[in-house]
């Protein structure tokens, strides 16, 4: 895996611009939009001179570091990187030329409405969006129950059925006529993720904003990266949970050492999942291989945040406790598409 050349700068950025916001993100549904844009402005998302794989290997380290501080913001970064993946892979050269620099340089934020299509392709549900071919583009109709990292000026990827035999993928502007957004902030965590229920009513998407007219072929190309960028959400949270357990090692004369799950056990599993993940990144990301890594990351993350609650003890049960926040965030990691049950189904196939 390529190492980050600017590690200190990323640490400084996190300390200065994310750390002071973490409680606000968790407690006041604050969306760390300016931090996300700053990541791009500081060059952390640039793929200039890199292959898609090399860019991903570097970007997963950024998602990891952000998530170790705040998984909600790490998830927003994932949304953006998913959108970046679509733009990097599209054969629509004009679309790529128009959006790629702005998405990489901190001028524009992207998002993804692909949970429903991912479930559609796994045989779990029907597509929620329909597309009708009209002169110069498509007209989209339907609703997506939750799309995050949205706001004025943001764009998101969406897949719609254009009849029985064709699915298309569009890059949709939140500001397009016919797009209505309803903010969702009643979740257990993740309320600072700028998540909206998204209704599309006769939304015209011109051909210039179509990522692919053959989503059935496009999806297998992009979905390994879609999942790749999720893995460090869990690994970052796990790392932070282990650090938290290590901090209270000697409390109450070392009584924590009697608990069934120790930080060393979790560190060993984290090292193993990280090694599998690195191997995937180094040798070329495969769909099944990355699904295995993602599944291991889910169960490891849940074990780590649970154990940290026990090791930290009483203080972990306070509303503002970082251990409690990580526990709530980790339950979203397990419910993010592909959810644990979706992963189990795909790995069985």
Ligand X SMILES: Cc1cc2nc3c(=O)[nH]c(=O)nc-3n(C[C@H](O)[C@H](O)[C@H](O)COP(=O)(O)OP(=O)(O)OC[C@H]3O[C@@H](n4cnc5c(N)ncnc54)[C@H](O)[C@@H]3O)c2cc1C
For the CB of residue 305, give the shortest distance to ligand X in the complex, in Å: 17
- CB-based closest residue to ligand X: 115
CA distances from 50 to 2, 46, 100, 334 (A): 11, 9, 14, 31
5-14: list long-range contacts, CB under 8 Å, 24+ apart: 6/42, 6/43, 6/44, 9/42, 10/42, 10/44, 10/62, 10/65, 11/65, 13/38, 13/39, 13/42, 14/65, 14/66, 14/69
Report the residue from 69, 90, 92, 115 that binds ligand X according to the rule CB under 6 A. Answer: 115
Could you tell me the two tokens for 180? 């209505």
Whole-angstrom Cα distance, residue 307 to residue 191? 24
**CB closer to ligand X out of 90 and 195:** 195
Whole-angstrom Cα distance, residue 19 to residue 328? 18
CA distances from 11 to 15, 17, 33, 64, 69 (A): 6, 10, 18, 12, 11
**CB closer to ligand X out of 195 and 274:** 195
Please give the residues from 195 up to 224 whose contact with ligand X meets the rule CB under 6 A. 195
Please give the residues from 59 up to 98 whose contact with ligand X meets the rule CB under 6 A. 79
**CB closer to ligand X out of 316 and 336:** 336
For the CB of residue 4, give the shortest distance to ligand X in the complex, in Å: 26
Please give the residues from 127 up to 156 whose contact with ligand X meets the rule CB under 6 A. 145-148
Report the residue from 203, 336, 343, 346 that binds ligand X according to the rule CB under 6 A. Answer: 336
For the CB of residue 158, give the shortest distance to ligand X in the complex, in Å: 9
C-alpha 145: how far from its chain's center?
17
* Size of site (CB under 6 A) for ligand X: 22
Based on the shown chain and the rule CB under 6 A, indicate whether residue 175 belongs to the binding site for ligand X.
Answer: no
Report the residue from 69, 90, 193, 256 that binds ligand X according to the rule CB under 6 A. Answer: 193
**CB closer to ligand X out of 115 and 256:** 115
Which residues contact ligand X by CB under 6 A?
79, 111-116, 119, 125, 145-148, 187, 190, 193, 195, 332, 335-337, 339
């Amino acid at each position: 895996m390529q190492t980050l050349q600017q590690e200190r700068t990323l640490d400084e950025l996190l300390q200065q611009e994310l750390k002071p916001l973490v409680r606000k993100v968790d407690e006041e549904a604050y969306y760390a939009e300016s931090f996300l844009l700053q990541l791009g402005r500081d060059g952390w998302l640039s793929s200039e001179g890199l292959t898609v794989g090399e860019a991903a290997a570097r970007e997963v380290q950024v998602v990891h570091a952000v998530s170790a501080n705040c998984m909600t913001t790490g998830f927003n970064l994932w949304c953006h990187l998913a959108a970046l993946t679509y733009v990097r892979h599209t054969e629509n050269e004009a679309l790529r030329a128009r959006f790629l620099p702005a998405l990489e340089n901190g001028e524009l934020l992207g998002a993804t409405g692909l949970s429903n299509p991912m479930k559609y392709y796994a045989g779990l549900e029907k597509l929620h969006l329909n597309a009708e071919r009209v002169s110069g583009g498509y007209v989209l109709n339907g609703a997506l129950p939750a799309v995050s990292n949205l706001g004025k000026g943001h764009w998101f990827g969406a897949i719609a059925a254009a009849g029985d035999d064709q699915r298309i993928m569009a890059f949709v502007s939140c500001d397009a006529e016919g797009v209505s957004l309803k903010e969702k902030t009643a979740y257990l965590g993740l309320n600072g993720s700028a998540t909206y229920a998204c209704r599309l009513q006769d939304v015209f998407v011109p051909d210039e904003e179509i990522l692919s007219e053959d989503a059935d072929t496009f999806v297998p190309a992009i979905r390994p990266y879609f999942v790749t960028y999720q893995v460090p959400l869990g690994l970052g949270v796990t790392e932070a949970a282990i650090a938290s357990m290590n901090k209270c090692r000697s409390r109450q004369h070392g009584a924590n050492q009697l608990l069934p799950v120790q930080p060393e056990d979790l560190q060993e599993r984290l090292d193993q999942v990280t090694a599998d993940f690195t191997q995937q990144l180094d040798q070329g990301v495969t769909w099944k291989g990355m699904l295995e890594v993602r599944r291991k990351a889910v169960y490891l993350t849940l074990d780590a945040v649970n154990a940290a609650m026990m090791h930290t003890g009483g203080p972990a049960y306070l509303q503002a406790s970082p251990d409690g926040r990580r526990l709530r965030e980790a339950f979203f990691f397990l419910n993010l598409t592909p959810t644990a049950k979706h992963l189990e189904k795909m790995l069985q196939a």
